[in-house]
Amino acid sequence: MAKRRKPKARPPSRRPLLVPRRRAAGRAIEPLDLVRCERFLLHEAQLLDDGKFDDWLALFTPDAWYWVPSEPDQDNPHDTVSLIYDDRRLLETRVRRLASPRIYSQEPRSRTSRIVSNVLIEDSGNNACTVRSKFLMIEYRRDCQRLFAGTAFHRLVQADGAILIASKRVNLVNCDAPLDGIVVPF
Partner 1 sequence: MSNIDAELARLIAPGRVHRRLYTDPAIFDLEMERIFDAAWIYVGHESQIKKPGDYFATRMGRKPVVLVRDEEGKVRVIHNQCAHRGAMVVATDKGNTAEFICCYHGWTYHLDGRVKAVPLNHGYPQGFDPKDPKIGMLPVPRMKSYRGFIFASGASDGPSLEDSLGHMTTSLDDMVDRAPDGEIEVAGGVFKHAYDGNWKVYFENLCDAAHPLFTHRSSIDAALAQSDDVHSDGSGEIAIRQMRQNGAPYSFWETQVGIWTYPNGHSYLGDYHDDSKLVAALKDPVFRKYIAALERKKGKEEAKRILEVRRWNSNIYPNVSLMSQFQQLRVVYPIAVNRTVVHAYSFRLKGAPEQMLRNAVSFANVVNGTGSLVLTDDLEIYNRLDMGMSSEGCEWLQIGRGYQSDVPDAHGGRRGKNSTSEVYIRNMLDTWLGLMTKGQAAPVRAVS
Compute the distance between CA of residue 46 and CA of residue 154 in angstroms, rounded to an integer.
Answer: 16
- Compare residues 8 and 78 and give the one whose CB is closer to partner 1: 78
Give 91's DSSP letter.
H
β-strand pairing of 144-159 with 128-141: antiparallel
Our CB check for partner 1 shows the closer of 80 and 117 to be 80
The residue (of 26 and 62) whose beta carbon lies closer to partner 1 is: 62
Residue 143 gets which letter from DSSP? T
**Radius of gyration in angstroms for the set of CA atoms belonging to the chain, rounded to a whole number:** 17
Instruction: For partner 1, give the closer residue by CB, 8 or 102.
Output: 102
Q: How far is the CB of 55 from partner 1 (least distance, A)?
A: 17
Task: Give me the least distance between CB of 110 and partner 1, in Å please.
Answer: 11
| Complex with partner 1: residue 19 or 99, whichever CB lies closer | 99
Closest approach of Cβ 75 to partner 1, in Å?
A: 11
- Opening angle at CA 139, ends 186 and 114, nearest 5: 55
* Angle CA 85–91–96, to nearest 5: 140
Q: Which residues bind partner 1 (CB under 8 A)?
A: 62-63, 65, 68, 70-71, 74, 77-90, 92-94, 96-97, 100, 102-105, 107, 176-183
Q: Which residues does 137 contact at the CB level (< 8 Å), separation at least 6?
A: 112, 113, 114, 115, 147, 148, 149, 186
Secondary structure E strands in 52-127: 60-69, 82-87, 111-124
Query: Smallest distance from the beta carbon of 91 to partner 1, in angstroms?
Result: 8
Minimum distance from residue 160 beta carbon to partner 1 (Å): 20
